[in-house]
């Protein structure tokens, strides 16, 4: 199992457990975590599942792929993009990510 903790802007946190073939986005949506909207359903087309990966995990999770980076860049003037920004639909959960912490941003583009 791999546990992922979602930290809200107000500091409250929820931890959810994955054993399916899910991305960080799927796990949040399936558990009704606030602030991860995923309007496109997980195909890096809407940016509404944007999260900041916790600094302690950023290296292990790695940076965005080419298409994802292009999407984040395009959203740059609507949301605050940081070096740890990722689209959570593109972070596939594996056992190596057990304990992962991500921060949910204040708002998602267009939501």
Give the footprint of other proteins on this chain (CB under 8 A): 1-2, 12, 14, 17-23, 26, 29-34, 37-43, 45-46, 89, 92-95
Tokens 């190596």 sit on residue? 96
Say how many C-beta atoms besides its own lie within 10 A of residue 60's C-beta.
Answer: 11
Closest distance to other proteins from the beta carbon of 5 (Å):
13
Residue 47 or 82 with smaller CB distance to other proteins:
47
Closest distance to other proteins from the beta carbon of 39 (Å):
5
Closest distance to other proteins from the beta carbon of 17 (Å):
4
* Edge-to-edge strand list for the sheet holding 50-53: 13-18, 2-7, 100-103, 50-53, 85-87
């Amino acid at each position: 199992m791999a546990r992922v903790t979602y930290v809200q802007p107000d500091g409250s946190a929820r931890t959810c457990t994955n054993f399916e073939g899910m991305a960080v986005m799927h796990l949040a949506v399936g558990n009704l975590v606030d602030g991860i909207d995923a309007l496109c359903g997980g195909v890096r087309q809407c940016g509404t599942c944007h999260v900041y990966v916790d600094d302690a995990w950023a290296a292990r999770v790695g940076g965005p792929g080419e298409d994802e980076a292009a999407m984040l860049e395009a959203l740059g003037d609507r949301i605050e993009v940081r070096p740890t920004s990722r689209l959570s639909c593109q972070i596939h959960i594996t056992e190596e990510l057990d304990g992962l912490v991500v921060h949910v941003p204040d708002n998602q583009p267009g939501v």
